[in-house]
């Protein structure tokens, strides 16, 4: 029997959209549905804290959910741990606290006064973010294999075995992954690079439809080699472009 999988794209603090997605999944697949989030739980949207709480609660209840590490999740986790606000993969001049990246939105969701000077801001964040949230972020896996799919936040280096992939590639890569047209060992389901609507490229499926920029949050259903987006009125086939 073909296994049914559900995957949720980049959430970026959009808690209400996450709740809508989880409701649609339960209506389609029941409370035991196998769900994978491809990461970027936090930043830009208004309620990153509630997103993390929802996943923690569901996992504590035994839900069949896998939550992957996104680059924004790592930025938040690293900030809590070290106070670092930059990363070599970020564009020059940007920091996690820049409004375009959205770290201040995440801190505000925890009740942190984002007008504090940077040193005080870090101390306030350490005090405000529950240790359970910090542990959850630090322990997020970088990828998940299930059936004929590989789930990952950003992508992978073409032609390198999975065991040789670095964290930086798995949560930050764009090209050469996005421009690679040959098949991967498994269908890669990913986010990270926001598009207007989910894309099926034959060898990969991009499900980041820009929730962090005020657009929709994509949920897909995977049954064997068939992919569907999950909408309010049911499943819609997503076929290779």
pLDDT-derived band at 211 (thresholds 50, 70, 90) equals: very high
Q: What angle do CA 130, 133, 134 make, to 5 degrees?
A: 90
Cβ neighbours of residue 83 under 8 Å, at least 6 residues apart? 122
For the residues 168-186, what does the mean pLDDT come to?
97
pLDDT at 1 over 70: no
**Choices 3.40.50.1460, 3.30.360.10, 3.50.50.60, 3.60.21.10: CATH for 4-71+141-237:** 3.60.21.10
Q: Are 9 and 154 in contact (CB under 8 A)?
A: no
* DSSP tag of 216: P
pLDDT-derived band at 152 (thresholds 50, 70, 90) equals: very high
Question: Which pLDDT tens digit goes with each residue over 95-136?
Answer: 999 999 999 999 999 999 999 998 899 999 999 999 999 999
Question: Which pLDDT tens digit goes with each residue over 54-71?
Answer: 999 999 999 999 999 999
Count other C-beta atoms under 10 Å from residue 98's C-beta: 15
- The angle that helices 71-82 and 131-138 make with each other, rounded to 10 degrees, is 130
What pLDDT sits at residue 30? 97
Residue ranges per domain, the chain?
4-71+141-237
pTM metric for this prediction = 0.97
For the residues 28-49, what does the mean pLDDT come to?
98
């Amino acid at each position: 029997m073909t296994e049914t999988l559900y995957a949720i794209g980049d959430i970026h603090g959009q808690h209400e959209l996450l709740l809508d997605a989880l409701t649609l999944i339960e209506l389609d697949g029941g409370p035991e549905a196998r769900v994978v989030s491809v990461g970027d739980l936090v930043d830009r949207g208004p309620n990153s804290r509630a997103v993390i709480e929802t996943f923690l609660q569901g996992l504590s209840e035994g839900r069949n959910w896998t939550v992957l590490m996104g680059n924004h999740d790592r930025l938040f986790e690293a900030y809590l741990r070290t106070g670092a606000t930059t990363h070599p993969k970020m564009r020059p001049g940007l920091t996690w606290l820049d409004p375009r990246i959205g770290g201040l939105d995440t801190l505000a969701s925890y009740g942190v006064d984002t007008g504090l000077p940077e040193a005080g801001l870090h101390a306030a964040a350490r005090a405000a973010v529950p240790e359970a949230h910090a542990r959850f972020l630090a322990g997020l896996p970088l990828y998940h294999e299930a059936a004929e799919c590989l789930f990952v936040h950003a992508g992978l280096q073409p032609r390198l075995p999975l065991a040789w992939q670095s964290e930086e590639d798995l949560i930050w890569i764009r090209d050469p992954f996005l421009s690679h047209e040959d098949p991967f060992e498994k269908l890669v389901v990913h986010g990270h690079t926001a598009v207007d609507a989910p894309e099926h490229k034959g060898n990969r499926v991009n499900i980041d439809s820009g929730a962090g920029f005020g657009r929709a949050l994509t949920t897909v259903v995977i049954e064997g080699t068939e992919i569907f987006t999950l909408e309010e009125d049911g499943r819609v086939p997503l076929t290779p472009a």
